[in-house]
Structure formats: structure tokens, C-alpha cells
């Protein structure tokens, strides 16, 4: 019996050594850009230890990079099942669900689980705790719970003080809530800590713009564009006449069945939504347009009731997403359809039926 025990122990040691050797080979192949080879080594690792959390996590990371999101999420979930204390797999899966799959409720569930303090789960140091708060804050942000998001990002900053990422995100939230002076303070602090983060610089530009510091805004937008030209375009300035003409063209190009709803509706162009509108209508300062009326209820409203409202387009916001007049016309038309449809309480099926989607 003792001989059999030692023989079994030797087999386990060999399988364990084989497992870690395969992981090393997979890591080397992955760093070298040899994705298929890396996945093959991870498969070999799982033959040695079928419930190897590190191997499942490695597969999840590679599949995520390859854009195979569902498979990646499954592998990362297997990693947490294999080792319930493997915090990296939880964080990877939460980030994947948050940034690439839009599964915000699932992200909140994962974060709440990690913060629950259950003995079978990872114990969180302050840095990891801060990251969990940050992930949950972003999920709430995407679900339009700005107050909840702001509360949690403050907790993240307290758990890991002076991290530029958290300051910048809190500044982004403050901006979206219309608290421009607070946003400026937070974003400037973040930019001092990490000067070359394009998202922070872009939001600084947005804040400067709202505080009538146009030169500072232009410099910030240019700096963000230079760091990441694919994601941060330099705003294109359109004259009031061009925006007005584009609005008229957009309305003329709407389906006839829909144009009737705009009879008698006043249309105006403003630079930005006011802070009062941001608060009252609970919209982003970056909204492209807004139908402002008495109420928003479900079901088609009579034309005469719609005519009591007004359609406002926001020039400075449109300039950040349109590169030329053709794009401006198209975007204004999309904005008009969405805003009137939203005001009417239409869902996606209704918009399809009316030819507005």
C-alpha cells in the first residue's frame, strides 16, 4: 500500500510539473504572437490537470484578445469554478462583460460577490478592492445610475488614493451630471498624475468648452487626438447657417408618415444643453438633440400635442461626431427620428414599422 501511495504521489508531481511547463510554453508563445501555439500548450496543460484555473484563465485571455467573447467568458468562468479564490479570473471576466459584452448586471453581480467577504472567495487587498469598486462604478455608469457610480468611485479612490484612473473617471461622471467645476478639478488632477491619457484630455476639452475656455479646449482636444487619432477626432466647426440648412434637409428626407408629427413643432439650434435641461431631462451634456415637451408617455400622441413641444439640436455636440456636411445631415436625421420616437414612447418594433430605425 505504501509503495502504491508513493507511486501515485510521483505521478501527481510529474503531472503538476508538466502543467506548469506547459503554462510557461504557452506564455512564451503568446508573448511572441503565436496564438494557436499558445492555445495548444494550454490544452496540453489541461490534459495534465483538467481543472487548472491558470490554464482556463490563460485560454480566456487569449480568446478575448481574438474577439471570441462568449468562449472567453466561459473559460474565465471555468477558472473561477476551478479555484474560487483566483481573483484574476473574476476581474478578467468582469472587465470582459463590462467593456466588450455590455452585460452590466452580471458585472454588478460579480463585484458584489467579491465584496461579500465570503470565506471561500478571494480576500481583497486595498488595491484589488479599489478595482472592484471601479468596475462596479463603471457598470452603474453605463446603466445611467450616475449617483451610485460617483459614490463607488469615491470609495475606489479612498482605497487606492491618487490613482489617476479613478480621478479621471470621477471627473467624467461629474461632467455627465453637469457639475463642470468639480469635473475640471478632478480631471486636472488626473492629468497631472498621468499627463498622456487621451480620454482624460478629451474630457478636459469638454469641460473647458462648457466653461467658455475655448483656447484651452482646443489644446486639450488636439492633445487627445494626437495620442489616439482613431478614437478622438478634432471637432469640426460648422456655421449656424450650415447646421440650419442641414436640419431642413434632414426633415425633408424623413418618411412622409413621420414628417406629419413635426408639423408645427419649432426647431432651434443651440450650442449645448443648459445645466437646467441636463438636470430636468436627465440627459448627457453630450446629447446631440432633444425633443422638449410636456411629458413622455408610451403610445402615439396626437400631432397637436407634439406641436406644444420643441426640437433642439446642439451644434457643438454635433461638431464632435460629424466630419462634413453629409455626415451632419445624416446624424441630424437620426437624432430627430430617435428623439421624436423616444418622446412618443416607441420601441424598436414601432420604429421599424414606421420606417424610422
Question: What mean pLDDT do residues 320-334 have?
Answer: 91
User: What structural domains and CATH numbers belong to the chain?
Assistant: 162-234 (1.25.40.10), 240-353 (3.30.2010.20)
Q: Looking at the predicted structure, is the pLDDT value of residue 180 above 70?
A: yes
Question: What mean pLDDT do residues 56-85 have?
Answer: 97
In which residue are the cell numbers 504521489 written?
Answer: 9
pLDDT, tens digit, 9 for 90 and up, residues 234-247: 999 999 889 988 88
CB–CB of 145/121 below 8 Å?
no
pLDDT, tens digit, 9 for 90 and up, residues 27-42: 999 999 999 999 999 9
What SS3 class is residue 270?
strand
Q: Look at residue 168 in the predicted model and tell me its pLDDT.
A: 96
Q: Look at residue 346 in the predicted model and tell me its pLDDT.
A: 72
Measured CA to CA, the distance from residue 317 to residue 288 in angstroms comes to: 6
Measured CA to CA, the distance from residue 256 to residue 338 in angstroms comes to: 16
Identify the residue with better confidence: 290 or 161: 290
Q: In terms of Cα–Cα distance, which of 295, 313, 312, 300 is closest to 260?
A: 300
Q: Looking at the predicted structure, is the pLDDT value of residue 308 above 70?
A: no
For residue 303, what pLDDT band results from cuts at 50, 70 and 90?
very low
Residue 18 CB burial class (10 angstroms; 0-12, 13-18, ≥19): middle
Q: Look at residue 161 in the predicted model and tell me its pLDDT.
A: 75
pLDDT, tens digit, 9 for 90 and up, residues 132-166: 999 999 999 999 999 999 999 999 999 887 789 99
Q: Look at residue 177 in the predicted model and tell me its pLDDT.
A: 96
CB–CB of 230/239 below 8 Å?
no
Question: Considering the chain, what is the average pLDDT of its residues?
Answer: 88
Measured CA to CA, the distance from residue 280 to residue 274 in angstroms comes to: 10
* Full-model pTM: 0.87
Amino acid at each position: 500500500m505504501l509503495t502504491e501511495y508513493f507511486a501515485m504521489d510521483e505521478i501527481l508531481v510529474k503531472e503538476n510539473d508538466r502543467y506548469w511547463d506547459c503554462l510557461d510554453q504557452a506564455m512564451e508563445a503568446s508573448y511572441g504572437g503565436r496564438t494557436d501555439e499558445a492555445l495548444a500548450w494550454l490544452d496540453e496543460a489541461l490534459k495534465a490537470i483538467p481543472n487548472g484555473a491558470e490554464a482556463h484563465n490563460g485560454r480566456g485571455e487569449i480568446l478575448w484578445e481574438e474577439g471570441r467573447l462568449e468562449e472567453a467568458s466561459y473559460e474565465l468562468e471555468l477558472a473561477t469554478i476551478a479555484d474560487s479564490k483566483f481573483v484574476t479570473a473574476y476581474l478578467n471576466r468582469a472587465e470582459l462583460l463590462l467593456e466588450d459584452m455590455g452585460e452590466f448586471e452580471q458585472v454588478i453581480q460579480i463585484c458584489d460577490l467579491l465584496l461579500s467577504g465570503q470565506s471561500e472567495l478571494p480576500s481583497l487587498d486595498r488595491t484589488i478592492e479599489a478595482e472592484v469598486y471601479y468596475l462596479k462604478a463603471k457598470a452603474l455608469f453605463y446603466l445611467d445610475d450616475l449617483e451610485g457610480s460617483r459614490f463607488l468611485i469615491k470609495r475606489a479612490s479612498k482605497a487606492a488614493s491618487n490613482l489617476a484612473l479613478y480621478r479621471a473617471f470621477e471627473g467624467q461622471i461629474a461632467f455627465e451630471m453637469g457639475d463642470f467645476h468639480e469635473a475640471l478639478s478632478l480631471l486636472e488632477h488626473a492629468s497631472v498624475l498621468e499627463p498622456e491619457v487621451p480620454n482624460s484630455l478629451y474630457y478636459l476639452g469638454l469641460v473647458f468648452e462648457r466653461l467658455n475656455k475655448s483656447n484651452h479646449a482646443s489644446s486639450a482636444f488636439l492633445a487627445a487626438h494626437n495620442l489616439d487619432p482613431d478614437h478622438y477626432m478634432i471637432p469640426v466647426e460648422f456655421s449656424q447657417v450650415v447646421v440650419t440648412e442641414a436640419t431642413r434637409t434632414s426633415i425633408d428626407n424623413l418618411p412622409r408618415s413621420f414628417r406629419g408629427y413635426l408639423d408645427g413643432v419649432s426647431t432651434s439650434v443651440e450650442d449645448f444643453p443648459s445645466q437646467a435641461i441636463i438636470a430636468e431631462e436627465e440627459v448627457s451634456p453630450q446629447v446631440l438633440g432633444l425633443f422638449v415637451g410636456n411629458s413622455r408617455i408610451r403610445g402615439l400622441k396626437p400631432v397637436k400635442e407634439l406641436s406644444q413641444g420643441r426640437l433642439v439640436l446642439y451644434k457643438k455636440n454635433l461638431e464632435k461626431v460629424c466630419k462634413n456636411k453629409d455626415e451632419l445631415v445624416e446624424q441630424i436625421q437620426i437624432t430627430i427620428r430617435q428623439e421624436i420616437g423616444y418622446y412618443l414612447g416607441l420601441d424598436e418594433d414601432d420604429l421599424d414599422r414606421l420606417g424610422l430605425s
